[in-house]
Amino acid sequence: MRIVLLGPPGAGKGTQAALLAKRAGLAHVATGDLFRANLERGTELGKQAKGYMDRGALVPDDVTTRMVLERFKESDAADGFVLDGFPRTIPQAEALDAALAAAGQAVDHALLIEVGREELVRRLAGRWICRACQTPYHDHSAPPAKPGVCDACGGELYQRDDDRPEVVGARLDTYEKQTAPLAGYYERAGKLARIDGLGGIEDVAEKLGRAIGGPAAVAAAHVTVE
Ligand code: ADP
Ligand code: ADP
Ligand code: ZN
């Protein structure tokens, strides 16, 4: 199964992609995480991306698409993936479709997680992520067992520079201008499902599971991997 998760910054893409990937045995491919990992390692790609990320703009399509297609070559992505944060523009969506078609594959579902601006700002202001494994936490809605420490790996939690209110406005505007049109793109392809992103993390996970065909579909995706 090949799934695209769409939604504005703070909608819960990272949280839900991790759950869905684990339960369905799919690779979790998150472009923001890949860029941040490159930044931490000080790679050329990280240096290229930094300026765009710092001001809440998108990294150019060619750089981003190349990084994703490289990631697809890793073995865990062969049987399916949950894409989190990609595509974010129409050219990226077209490049993804073309690359998959060349391999006789296609996106099966595009799931749009919808959350209003006020709640997005609240979520981003309280977000902490793990420096080692990038798991997201929240001061109020998803606190770690021990403050500042990742439940999953024991890594150090930090707040992203681009989650500061000064940058969040720019990121939400970038989303509206460049990424929101993807809903129409996938709707025309008959692949779009809109999911209400409000409610508890498990409630949202259940809605996403239903949109891709229910627990049976999630389990079936897992079986093909094993
Ligand atoms: P995105 O990847 O779309 O930017 P995240 O998954 O990182 O979103 O979630 C943004 C913030 O909101 C995080 O702090 C996360 O812990 C929190 N969060 C995720 N899902 C929910 C939810 N259903 N209700 C409340 N807070 C949530
Ligand atoms: P969020 O989880 O808050 O939606 P991400 O972690 O996915 O944010 O992305 C962080 C930043 O990385 C973006 O603001 C952008 O600069 C860059 N980025 C991530 N994905 C893409 C993409 N598909 N195209 C261009 N830039 C991207
Ligand atoms: Zn961690």
pLDDT digits (tens, 9 = 90+) for 62-82: 999 999 999 999 999 998 999
Cα distance between residue 209 and residue 150, in whole Å: 26
pLDDT at position 218, please? 74
In testing the pocket of ligand 1, which one of 123, 172, 174 has its CB within 8 Å of the most ligand atoms?
A: 123
The answer to whether residue 214 scores a pLDDT higher than 90 is no
**Residue 222: pLDDT band with limits 50, 70, 90:** low
**Residue 223: pLDDT band with limits 50, 70, 90:** low
pLDDT at position 216, please? 67
Cα distance between residue 94 and residue 72, in whole Å: 16
Express each pLDDT in 108-157 by its tens digit. 999 999 999 999 999 999 999 999 999 999 999 999 999 999 999 999 99
* Dihedral sign of CA atoms 169, 174, 176, 179 in order: negative
CATH for 2-116+167-219?
A: 3.40.50.300
pTM of the model: 0.95
Q: Are 34 and 67 in contact (CB under 8 A)?
A: yes
Instruction: State the distance from the centre of ligand 3 to the C-alpha of 126, rounded, in angstroms.
Output: 17
> One-letter amino acid identity for 113?
I
Nearest residue to 106 via CA among 31, 179, 225, 1: 1
For residue 164, give the DSSP letter. Answer: S
How crowded is residue 164: how many other Cβ atoms within 10 Å of its Cβ?
12
Instruction: State the distance from the centre of ligand 1 to the C-alpha of 199, rounded, in angstroms.
Output: 11
In testing the pocket of ligand 2, which one of 35, 69, 182 has its CB within 8 Å of the most ligand atoms?
A: 35
14 lines ligand 1 (CB under 6 A): yes
Active site residues: 13, 88, 127, 160, 171
pLDDT at position 225, please? 46
Taking CA 91 as the corner, what is the angle to CA 221 and CA 28, rounded to the nearest 5 degrees? Answer: 30
Average pLDDT over residues 95-101: 98
Cα distance between residue 184 and residue 219, in whole Å: 29
Express each pLDDT in 162-208 by its tens digit. 999 999 999 999 999 999 999 999 999 999 999 999 999 999 999 99
Average pLDDT over residues 3-8: 98
What is the residue with the minimal CA distance to atom 4 of ligand 2? 9
Alpha helices in 103-164 (DSSP H): 117-125
Report the phi/psi class of residue 211: left, alpha or beta, with left for phi > 0 and alpha for psi in -120 to 50.
alpha
Express each pLDDT in 26-52 by its tens digit. 999 999 999 999 999 999 999 999 999
Instruction: State the distance from the centre of ligand 3 to the C-alpha of 161, rounded, in angstroms.
Output: 18
Q: Are 130 and 152 in contact (CB under 8 A)?
A: yes
The two most distant CA atoms of the chain are separated, in Å, by 47
Atom of ligand 2 nearest to the CA of 86: 23
